[in-house]
Every structure is written in structure tokens, then in C-alpha cells.
């Protein structure tokens, strides 16, 4: 009987996580826990590093507490085993504050410096979660008599190796982005105006919902561009995501 008893104990132990957690459909009144996400999986599990586990000299009662914590080069915290850990800020995926998820994006093209890290809130949440990031990109302007620096430029400078052959300038550009909740990938929709979203890209996003894809493809190219965000919202309504909740 002893092996049989051991087997039932094993089965019961496997069922404990299922008893402790269940998944619920995401709705606008779902409550996300405040804290820092080390990875996208932490978002999916609604399991950030709690603000009470962060080691910091900042006032935890401040409304911008997490913003202050993340304005450093690294963060100290206690893990689930109450062991002290340290993580660089540029390795942090994002954070949640006041039920708003923010994702970490480097705001300077091709930079890995923590100083260039900034945080952008998800505007909508679904299979495809939408947000806008502001990225500083380097542009080149060939020499032209009387040419003016573009209005979005931050600064203009010469490359000493090619003196007199043109100027470079930095420009802040809004980038329309999606977070794919099926795998955590970031998808760039468009630079600037949402009406510049590629119909080919949209067709790829709708691929798993064939009825919706056919409806979208039946439209003219002009209407496809003007209704892109409508179809992303419609896709999210028809394809739900779920989050675990503790019982």
C-alpha cells in the first residue's frame, strides 16, 4: 500500500498550483500588481518584484517612487527566497505603477546605455497591446546652400572624417508599437502617422483570424490604412488573453 499512498501524495502535490491559481479573462477592471518586471513572463504571470522587496533610499510613499528607483544604473532587491539580488536597469523589462504597465525602450538608436532607457505606458492591452515610443534617430543631410535644419532636429554636427560633405542631426521620432502578448515581441507598426501602417504587416497580424483577415483584405488599400487600428482592436476583442489570479 505504501507505493500507492506515495503516488496519491504525488498527484495531490501536482494539483496544488492549480488550486492556488486560476486564470481569468483580461478586462479593463483587472488589477495588475505594482512592481518591477524582470521579464515579459513576469507580466504574463502578474508577478513583478514587489515595491516592498526593493532596497532603496527613496520614499516608497512617493507617487513617482518607481520612476526614481529606475533613474539609477542598477537596482537591489530581495528575491522570493529573500536573497539579495542586483540587476542593471537596462536589463529590466518594465514596471507597473497605479495599474499602468510601462515597457522599457532605449530611446537612442542602437544604444544599450541605461541612461538612454525610458519607459512608455501601454495604451491598450490585448493580444496586440499598443503604445507609442519616442526614439532619437540620427539623420544625414547632404550639403545644400541655404538648407535649414529640420524642425524636429535636436542638434547638428559634422563628421570630421567627411568634413564639408554634409551634416548629421538627431531627431525625436514617434514610433507606433505593438507588444505581442503571445510571445513578448515588440512589433513596429509605423513611424509617425498611424495611417502609414503597411497593409502587408496588418495582414500578417490578422493571419490567425481568417474571417477577420478576409474582411480586412476585401477593403481598398486606402481603407485598409485608415482602419488599421480598428482591426487591431477588433482582433483583440475576438481573441482574448488571460492572467492568473491568486485564490
Place of cell 496586440: 128
Q: Check residue 151 and give its pLDDT.
A: 52
Q: Check residue 18 and give its pLDDT.
A: 45
Q: Check residue 116 and give its pLDDT.
A: 85
Closest CA to 16 of 216, 193, 174, 247: 247
Q: Check residue 4 and give its pLDDT.
A: 47
Model confidence over 43-75: pLDDT tens digits?
999 999 999 999 999 999 999 999 999 999 999
pTM for the complete prediction?
Answer: 0.79
Residue 135, strand partner residues = 173
Other residues' Cβ atoms within 10 Å of the Cβ of residue 127: 21
Place of cell 483577415: 213
Q: Check residue 147 and give its pLDDT.
A: 53
Closest CA to 178 of 233, 215, 111, 115: 233
Model confidence over 93-132: pLDDT tens digits?
999 999 999 999 988 877 777 788 899 999 999 999 999 9
Q: Check residue 115 and give its pLDDT.
A: 80
Residue ranges of the chain with per-residue pLDDT less than 70: 1-21, 143-166, 246-247
Amino acid at each position: 500500500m505504501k507505493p500507492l499512498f506515495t503516488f496519491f501524495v504525488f498527484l495531490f502535490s501536482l494539483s496544488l498550483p492549480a488550486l492556488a491559481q486560476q486564470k481569468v479573462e483580461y478586462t479593463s477592471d483587472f488589477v495588475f500588481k505594482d512592481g518591477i518586471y524582470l521579464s515579459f513572463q513576469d507580466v504574463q504571470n502578474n508577478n513583478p518584484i514587489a515595491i516592498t522587496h526593493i532596497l532603496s533610499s527613496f520614499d516608497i510613499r512617493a507617487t513617482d517612487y518607481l520612476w526614481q528607483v529606475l533613474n539609477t544604473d542598477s537596482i537591489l532587491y530581495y528575491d522570493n527566497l529573500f536573497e539579495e539580488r542586483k540587476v542593471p536597469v537596462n536589463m529590466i523589462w518594465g514596471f507597473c505603477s497605479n495599474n499602468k504597465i510601462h515597457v522599457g525602450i532605449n530611446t537612442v538608436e542602437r544604444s544599450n546605455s541605461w541612461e538612454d532607457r525610458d519607459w512608455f505606458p501601454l495604451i491598450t492591452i490585448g493580444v496586440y497591446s499598443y503604445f507609442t515610443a519616442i526614439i532619437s534617430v540620427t539623420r544625414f543631410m547632404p550639403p545644400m546652400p541655404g538648407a535649414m535644419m529640420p524642425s524636429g532636429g535636436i542638434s547638428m554636427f559634422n563628421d570630421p572624417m567627411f568634413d564639408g560633405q554634409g551634416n548629421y542631426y538627431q531627431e525625436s521620432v514617434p514610433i507606433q508599437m505593438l507588444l505581442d502578448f503571445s510571445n513578448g515581441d515588440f512589433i513596429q507598426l509605423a513611424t509617425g502617422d498611424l495611417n502609414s501602417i503597411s497593409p502587408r504587416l496588418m495582414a500578417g497580424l490578422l493571419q490567425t483570424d481568417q474571417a477577420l483577415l478576409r474582411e480586412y483584405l476585401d477593403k481598398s488599400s486606402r481603407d485598409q490604412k485608415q482602419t488599421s487600428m480598428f482591426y487591431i482592436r477588433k482582433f483583440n476583442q475576438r481573441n482574448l488573453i488571460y492572467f492568473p489570479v491568486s485564490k
